[in-house]
Structure 1
Amino acid sequence: MSADPTPTGCGCPEGNLLTSAATVADGGLSRRGVLRGALLGGTALTVGSAVVTAAPIAAAATQSAPWTLVVLSMRGAADGLSLVVPHGDPVYYSARPRVAIPKDRLLVADAMFGLHPALAPLQSMWQQGKLAAVHAAGLPAPNRSHFAAIEAVEDAAPGSSTRSGWLNRLLGTDAYTSPLQGVAVGTSPFALAAGAQPSLTVASVNAVRVAGASAVSTSDPRIASLARAWDADDLMGRGLRTAVTAVADYGAVRAAKDTTSSYPATSLGRALALVSRSIRADVGSSVVTVDHGNWDMHTDLGTVAGGWMTNQAGQFAAAVSAFFADLGSWASRVTLVTVSEFGRRTVENADHGLDHGWGSVMFLAGAGVNGGRYYGRWPGLTATGDADLPVTTDYRSVLAEVIGTRTSASLATVFPGFTPQAVGVMRR
């Protein structure tokens, strides 16, 4: 994939709003995300074109992260039935006479499932046991509103008075609070910024800077002036110190080798190149979020020969494959998991597309993944016009398994009031 071929519109007014809201500053910073972070995380300070969400507590010195979780959000509601095709369910082909993927084109097929052929760059990871898929996963109840579903997925605390993102709660279980422990790369930072822990939202490696300052130290007149103006031990004062610490520590990322040329020339490729650079710089980043959109394919989804779905799946696969190849030995500490706000309906519509549905698929790749297999309980498809793929695996059960095997975090803190079910997708 040499360029982003994704259409900008989707035929869904809310989806168009979602797309336009995510392209505000330097490649994808959401006003809604920054505002939410400012209100819930304490305060949001702009440094260059990056945003540091400052915590109510002072940031400690950066420490090496023993693990890194990369959460890749497939914005717009990815169709799990196209990405992981249930060829063994006869309803799939009758419900999608024009957009179904032929069985003989599927990759790594078993008796029920096979991967979309555009995912070929990931086939070797599957065969090496480093990639897996969980089907019929998602929110415990249907929610066809992009914004409402995204917020529900990223809060992950239905019925709770806790107003924070599950990723920010995960950061709070670490023993250190570096402002670089949580990084949102070119994304809307809802789940990271909403909460007590500091985080950084950045779109490019050169975006983290203090305007007009030649160096990030009190020897620089600009930094010294800011330090004098905000030396109080209050939220703004601690916030400024957090931001300056983030800028200083981020210098190690700029100094790390730039490997962008080894990635596809797409927005996801550039984002994952920056994620790899941050991990290899060892600046303490333990949770990283990346967005990949637009999956809101109401019209012209395309066929196996080409089109929107094939291009989008190909972008995803090429970028993730390049990411793990680029990490090298650092891959032993990195686990990547995908989420999407919901899936698409079973039956194709009159516009060669798919409308908002319920269940979708989650991919897991990298460290600790019990790969080369499809997971989840298959509920079977029905072919009525408004039929959804039911959710049989709560997405929090998948995330809980990742957190429980890769971190020392308290699941009761990260997912309050939730009792996960065993999925088996992570090695214990």
Structure 2
Amino acid sequence: MPTTTLPDDVLRTLHPDCPDWERLGPSRGDAALRAVAEAQRVAEEERTQAWSGGFNRRTFLAGGIGVGVAALGSQLVTSRVSYAAAAERTGTLVVLFLRGGMDGLSLLVPAADPLLVKERPHIAVRAGALLDFDAARGFGLHPAMKPLAPLIAKGRVAAVPAVSTPDLTRSHFQAQDCLERGSSGSLTTGWLDRVLEASGPGTTFRAVAVGGTTPRSLQGPANAIAMRSIDALKLPVDDREMRATSAALRALYTGLDHPVAEQADLALEALATAKRIRGSATAKPATTYPKGNLGDALKDVAALIRSGAGVRVACIDVGGWDTHTGMGTPDSGDMQRHLGDLAAALAAFTDDLGEALDTTTIVTMSEFGRRVEENASGGTDHGHGGAVLVIGGGVAGGVHGTWRGLGQRTSLGDVPGWNDYRDVLGEVVGTRVGLSAGQLGRVFPRWKVKPVGVMAA
């Protein structure tokens, strides 16, 4: 949240009684902010008596007097920051969106199906190389997922094959949009935004997207914090100057009947919480994370959860899954590398959480799967049904949902969408966030969630 800068002609009018206003702060932006706050305080005192006959803060803003304040606030607080009051939570849902269309048949491998090797002679993961997972249903995991073996042994890893949206699009944008809205209809909000609305108020950090932008699934009136990292969530000033700048911000917006006023106050709460977490013992991870953006993002989410910040939903985007060429073998290549990075980061995250894993559930999802047949470039093209992993507390280990074999592929060579993504996500949300069937009906309109069994009774 950067400090503000204003045009010189505006700055010259900020504080006529203080020609050397630039000395009020460590930078021109901070000095300008503090000057505006002081001018606002003085002007407010002068207006109090004049407004005693019936004017209020709303008419003050409507009349244009507060335009400068609102404009200043719009530069200080983004639309991605909105919070609610503290409340109890039932647990944390962490959603990893694997963007690009992850090949579910490389992750969750139907090794018992003879068509797999026939259709993928160069890239198929053979039975002998698989990580043991659910042999009774004929499935194993890619060997790169070995870091998850301890969790698998404890029954904390579940998977669902042939998961899809109802749309048969091969467009990344359209498929992601349908998945993240939670509907193929005209809804404008994201499914996770509706989860937050249904679950009620929470703490400052009840919803967080790590990576700097708000995903489509979190867009809507409930809003969320979008941050690059906990370390980046601070003002670029020392503690003394931070207190002065915070006081100026609160003076600017206290009592104003305007959305920006609430946003500014709550943004300061987020800054204070982030500072507390950085200075606490929970900020230091209990394990070593792999290097990279995913490891860094999960490390921050773990710190928030362990600190008791009240995270209800956390979202992280992971790109690079559009594997049209060079997918490789079980021992090398793009798929082996991507899955290895994913598994290593998830293993570190679950280890770092410690007992908090009991109330944390992780879901990996992608906009669609890939075709059954490999292409001429040693890769796979856009398909339909993909695979979902569900990891952590409350999970019923093993493979769940409908699977009818590769012989039942579509006329276009896709894995069919035998399991609707809303059934998978709805079951996880119902258990982890504590939503009722009626509330799930508002999260996924015109759809009755039919659990597939990924969460333990």
TM-score (norm: length of structure 1): 0.82
State the structure with more CA Rg: 2
Question: Which residue of the other structure, out of 125, 128, 135, is the alignment partner of 1:101?
Answer: 125
CA contact (8 A) 1:54 1:238 kept: no
Q: Secondary structure at the match of 1:262?
A: coil
Closer/same/farther in 2, CA of residues 146 and 312 from structure 1, 3 Å limit: same
The alpha carbon displacement at 1:144 in A equals 1.3
Matched, 1:222 2:245: yes
Matched, 1:279 2:305: yes
* 1:128-173 deviation per Cα after TM superposition (whole angstroms, max 9, x unaligned): 11001100012122221112211111110222x4311111111112
Closer/same/farther in 2, CA of residues 171 and 46 from structure 1, 3 Å limit: farther
Matched, 1:253 2:285: no
CA distance in 2: counterparts of 1:202 and 1:388, whole angstroms = 37
CA distance in 2: counterparts of 1:215 and 1:391, whole angstroms = 57
CA distance in 2: counterparts of 1:193 and 1:101, whole angstroms = 35
Q: Which residue pairs with 2:226 in the alignment?
A: 201
Q: Which residue pairs with 1:39 in the alignment?
A: none
Q: Which runs of 5+ in 1 are unaligned?
A: 1-43
CA contact (8 A) 1:187 1:203 kept: yes
CA contact (8 A) 2:90 2:434 kept: no
The alpha carbon displacement at 1:87 in A equals 1.4
Q: Which runs of 5+ in 2 are unaligned?
A: 1-72
The alpha carbon displacement at 1:311 in A equals 0.6
CA distance in 2: counterparts of 1:427 and 1:53, whole angstroms = 34
* 1:23-44 deviation per Cα after TM superposition (whole angstroms, max 9, x unaligned): xxxxxxxxxxxxxxxxxxxxx9
Question: Which residue of the other structure, out of 184, 189, 196, is the alignment partner of 1:164?
Answer: 189
Map 1:10-25 onto structure 2 (within 5 A).
none
Closer/same/farther in 2, CA of residues 344 and 95 from structure 1, 3 Å limit: same
CA distance in 1: counterparts of 2:311 and 2:75, whole angstroms = 19
Q: Which amino acid aligns with 1:223?
A: S
CA distance in 2: counterparts of 1:332 and 1:147, whole angstroms = 34
CA distance in 2: counterparts of 1:422 and 1:201, whole angstroms = 31
Q: Secondary structure at the match of 2:80?
A: strand
* 1:61-94 deviation per Cα after TM superposition (whole angstroms, max 9, x unaligned): 4445330000111111100000011112222111
Q: Which residue pairs with 1:37 in the alignment?
A: none
CA distance in 1: counterparts of 2:455 and 2:276, whole angstroms = 32
CA distance in 2: counterparts of 1:188 and 1:146, whole angstroms = 18
Matched, 1:65 2:116: no
The alpha carbon displacement at 1:230 in A equals 3.6
Q: Secondary structure at the match of 2:373?
A: coil
Question: Which residue of the other structure, out of 70, 76, 80, is the alignment partner of 1:53?
Answer: 80
CA contact (8 A) 1:72 1:289 kept: yes
CA contact (8 A) 1:178 1:198 kept: no
Q: Secondary structure at the match of 2:159?
A: strand
Question: Which residue of the other structure, out of 362, 365, 374, is the alignment partner of 2:388?
Answer: 362
CA distance in 2: counterparts of 1:359 and 1:212, whole angstroms = 50
CA contact (8 A) 1:138 1:395 kept: yes
CA contact (8 A) 2:210 2:227 kept: yes
Moved over 6 A (4+): 44-48
Closer/same/farther in 2, CA of residues 187 and 376 from structure 1, 3 Å limit: farther
Matched, 1:380 2:405: yes
Matched, 1:78 2:102: yes
CA distance in 2: counterparts of 1:151 and 1:295, whole angstroms = 17
CA distance in 2: counterparts of 1:92 and 1:46, whole angstroms = 55
Map 1:313-352 onto structure 2 (within 5 A).
313-352=339-378
CA distance in 1: counterparts of 2:169 and 2:101, whole angstroms = 11
Question: Which residue of the other structure, out of 402, 407, 413, is the alignment partner of 2:428?
Answer: 402
CA contact (8 A) 1:182 1:288 kept: yes
The alpha carbon displacement at 1:284 in A equals 1.3
Q: Which residue pairs with 1:40 in the alignment?
A: none
In angstroms, what is the RMSD of aligned CA positions? 2.3
Question: Which residue of the other structure, out of 178, 195, 201, is the alignment partner of 1:152?
Answer: 178
Q: Secondary structure at the match of 2:160?
A: strand
Q: Which residue pairs with 2:115 in the alignment?
A: 91
Q: Secondary structure at the match of 2:138?
A: coil
CA contact (8 A) 1:95 1:346 kept: yes
- Count of aligned pairs: 376
Q: Secondary structure at the match of 1:163?
A: coil
Matched, 1:305 2:316: no
CA distance in 1: counterparts of 2:393 and 2:102, whole angstroms = 24
CA contact (8 A) 2:191 2:218 kept: no
Closer/same/farther in 2, CA of residues 119 and 187 from structure 1, 3 Å limit: farther
CA distance in 2: counterparts of 1:119 and 1:82, whole angstroms = 11
Q: Secondary structure at the match of 2:131?
A: coil
Question: Which residue of the other structure, out of 415, 421, 446, is the alignment partner of 1:417?
Answer: 446
Larger mean Cα displacement after TM superposition, 72-81 or 59-68: 59-68
The alpha carbon displacement at 1:204 in A equals 1.7
CA distance in 1: counterparts of 2:310 and 2:86, whole angstroms = 6
Q: Which amino acid aligns with 1:248?
A: A
CA distance in 1: counterparts of 2:144 and 2:220, whole angstroms = 38
CA contact (8 A) 1:276 1:323 kept: yes
Closer/same/farther in 2, CA of residues 215 and 167 from structure 1, 3 Å limit: farther
Q: Which residue pairs with 1:264 in the alignment?
A: 290
CA distance in 2: counterparts of 1:235 and 1:297, whole angstroms = 44
Matched, 1:179 2:208: no
Q: Which residue pairs with 1:210 in the alignment?
A: 235
